[in-house]
Structure 1
Amino acid sequence: MITAIQEILKICDRHADRLRWAVSQLQCHAPFDEHGLSRLTDTEIAVLDQFSVRFGKLQDAMGAKLFPAVLELTKEPGELKAFIDKLNRLEKIGAIPSADDWLLLREVRNTFAHDYPDDPELKAEIINKALDLTASLIDVLDSVKRFVQPYL
């Protein structure tokens, strides 16, 4: 189990590192607006795509793999089938700061995953929201890493 969680953490760290890099490349354009989006070069659009993909992949890896592995590692009692129950338990044991904050991150990720080519203003708003929440997403990962450290 310890080896498995270490591998999951490596994957999450890789996504987080690439997400940080993409954010650093996009900061000079933030906050985005509909006009700014239309002026991006192909390379800048590729970086924006990288940001979108890594934001989603980090969340997916944490939600689908890391969170269940933490619950298994800590031998939390009871069968938690619903994802919200898992989040609430992770918050209760101190592995994540807030289940509600994770749900907000997830909502933004789901919105962010959709392309809105006919509404550049909405697209810019979603990108800005995701950029603003990136630090929170990485903070959740860091929180989980601190929490599991004594178990490793």
Structure 2
Amino acid sequence: MNKAVFQGIIDVCKVHAERLRWSMSHLAEKKPFTADSLAQLTEIELAIFDQFIVRFSKLQDVMGAKLLPAVLELTHEEGELNTFIDKLNRLEKIGALSSVDQWLKLREMRNQFAHDYPDDPEIQSTLLNRAFVMAEELLKVLDHVIHFSARYGVLKGAL
């Protein structure tokens, strides 16, 4: 794995993570979200929610599509890894991922964002409350993968 390419993937993830954290910090005082509280959001707060959803989705996407496969390449894992679940299982086995099940739940949350429930604020508020908890998990997974990858000397300032 080319160090510059790997670092570039990490840098993209870090930008998404930074903006996800920013949106979460600006919405923290609104938690827990309810149908009523969502109805009272300002245009700016709605834009920040959009930022939260977009950055969660983008971070999860780039990690799944680029970072996790790059970690497998970095570690020179051998064997049949034809499906994404095979790759996730191998990443868990070598310690790059704590839990395949957790990753699949993060992916499911990302997929939930694709569904819009404009006529059901109860569903929206439940989804957003769950998403905030899962966003914290996603950020921890990113930190774990970065820490794991640093052992291979491909990151700036690696351990």
Aligning the two structures, in what range does the TM-score lie when normalised by the shorter sequence?
Answer: over 0.9
After TM superposition, give the deviation of residue 82 of structure 1 in Å. Answer: 1.1
Aligned length: 152
User: For the residues of structure 2 that align with 1:78 and 1:122, how far apart are their CA atoms?
Assistant: 43
Aligned sequence identity (%):
56
Specify which structure has the higher proportion of helix: 1
Instruction: Note the aligned Cα RMSD (angstroms).
Output: 0.8
- Residue range with higher mean Cα deviation, 78-87 or 133-142: 78-87
Contact 1:112 1:127 in 2 (8 A): no
Give the 3-state SS of the residue equivalent to 2:151 in structure 1.
helix
> 1:23 — aligned with what?
24
> 2:90 — aligned with what?
89
| Match status 1:60 vs 2:61 | yes
Give the structure-1-normalised TM-score: 0.97
User: 2:19 corresponds to which letter in structure 1?
Assistant: R
Give the structure-2-normalised TM-score: 0.93
> 1:133 — aligned with what?
134
> 2:14 — aligned with what?
13
Deviations, residues 5-55 of structure 1 (Å, cap 9, x unaligned): 100000000000000000000111111111111100000000000000000
Listed as ranges, the gaps of 5+ residues in structure 1 are none
Contact 1:52 1:113 in 2 (8 A): no
> 1:40 — aligned with what?
41
User: For the residues of structure 2 that align with 1:81 and 1:23, how far apart are their CA atoms?
Assistant: 36
Q: Where has structure 1 moved over 2 Å in runs of 4 or more?
A: none
